[in-house]
Amino acid sequence: MRKITTEPTYQGHAIMTDKERNLACDTNILDAIKDQFEYATQHNSKTFFMRYDLRFPTGEQEHTDNKLVRDFQANFIKHLKRDGLNPQYVLVREQSREKHQHYHGLLLLNGQKIQHVHHPIEVAEKLWRSALDLPEGNGLVDACMKTRDGKSQVNGVMLRKDDPDYETQKDECFRRASYLAKVNQKENTPKGQRELFSSRLPKMRDK
């Protein structure tokens, strides 16, 4: 059974909820996001946070399960590891009644090796285009540079432990990441299909 919250914070972090509008977040997904944040920030002096989204071409109905995306994601992470980016990720599936599924993702990367979202997005576009066997695929990977109403927004935040605003920026990144946990459009996931994927983490040492 899905566990949800409409509270404005979760374990000390602000999240994208609205009790009056009944906008809720899935706590299982929030826990996955929190685990990835804790691991990445413990193991990097600088952590680069970014978002990305995946969609299928309009009218494509062949791939209704998660296999294509699972294979893409494994290949994507493999490429980022080769670049020394130590990637941690969370990826979620969503689907409206009328449209094909789409996926929202976040990456936490080694900030010593990256300054901007361009490289991961370019890699993702190339690999997603190849997975779909398309000659062109720009636009199927969203770099999350605009809000839903078309306004420009920054994607890619460097979290530096020596920054006086480190905790404030980390909290804002968690709030943005909580978009992945929104319950809306997750109730249409077909039975038997996973909606949450994340990096495997070794057991953290007891403090």
| Interval 185-201: pLDDT, tens | 888 788 889 999 999 99
Q: Is residue 98, in this structure, part of any structural domain at all?
A: yes
Q: Is residue 129, in this structure, part of any structural domain at all?
A: yes
Q: Is residue 183, in this structure, part of any structural domain at all?
A: yes
191 versus 7: the higher-pLDDT residue is: 7
- Tell me the pLDDT band of 204, cut-offs 50, 70 and 90: low
Q: Is residue 116, in this structure, part of any structural domain at all?
A: yes
Q: Is residue 13, in this structure, part of any structural domain at all?
A: no
Residues 86-123: tens digit of each pLDDT? 999 999 999 987 678 999 999 999 999 999 999 999 99
Contacts of residue 101, defined as CB under 8 A and 6 or more positions apart, other chains included, come to: 56, 64, 93, 94, 95, 189
Q: Is residue 2, in this structure, part of any structural domain at all?
A: no
- Pick from 32, 43, 45, 48: nearest CA to 80: 48
Residues 9-49: tens digit of each pLDDT? 999 999 999 999 999 999 999 999 999 999 999 999 999 99
Average pLDDT in the 79-87 region? 97
Tell me what pLDDT residue 137 has: 66
Q: Which CATH number covers residue 190?
A: 3.40.1310
Residues 41-80: tens digit of each pLDDT? 999 999 999 999 999 998 887 888 999 999 999 999 999 9
Instruction: Give CA torsion, residues 177, 91, 25, 151, to 10 deg.
Output: 50
Q: How many domains does the chain have?
A: 1
Is 80 exceeded by the pLDDT of residue 138?
A: no
- Pick from 113, 169, 105: nearest CA to 143: 105
- Tell me the pLDDT band of 148, cut-offs 50, 70 and 90: confident
200 versus 207: the higher-pLDDT residue is: 200
Q: What percent of the chain has pLDDT over 90?
A: 79
Tell me what pLDDT residue 68 has: 96
Q: Is residue 16, in this structure, part of any structural domain at all?
A: no
DSSP 111-138: TTS-SSSHHHHHHHHHHHHHHHT-S--T
DSSP 27-56: HHHHHHHHHHHHHHHHH-SEEEEEEEEE-P
Residue carrying the six token digits 């109403």:
149
Average pLDDT in the 132-161 region? 89
| Helix%, strand%, coil% for the chain, nearest 5 | 30, 25, 45
pTM over 0.95: no
Q: What percent of the chain has pLDDT over 70?
A: 97
Q: Which two tokens stand for residue 199?
A: 């990096």
Instruction: Give CA torsion, residues 146, 68, 75, 119, to 10 deg.
Output: -20
* Domain, as residue range, for 158: 27-198
- Mean residue pLDDT across the chain: 93
Residue carrying the six token digits 């190339």:
126
What is the Cα–Cα distance from 26 to 166, expressed in whole angstroms? 26
Amino acid at site 56: F
Q: Is residue 54, in this structure, part of any structural domain at all?
A: yes
- Tell me the pLDDT band of 133, cut-offs 50, 70 and 90: very high
What is the Cα–Cα distance from 101 to 26, expressed in whole angstroms? 18
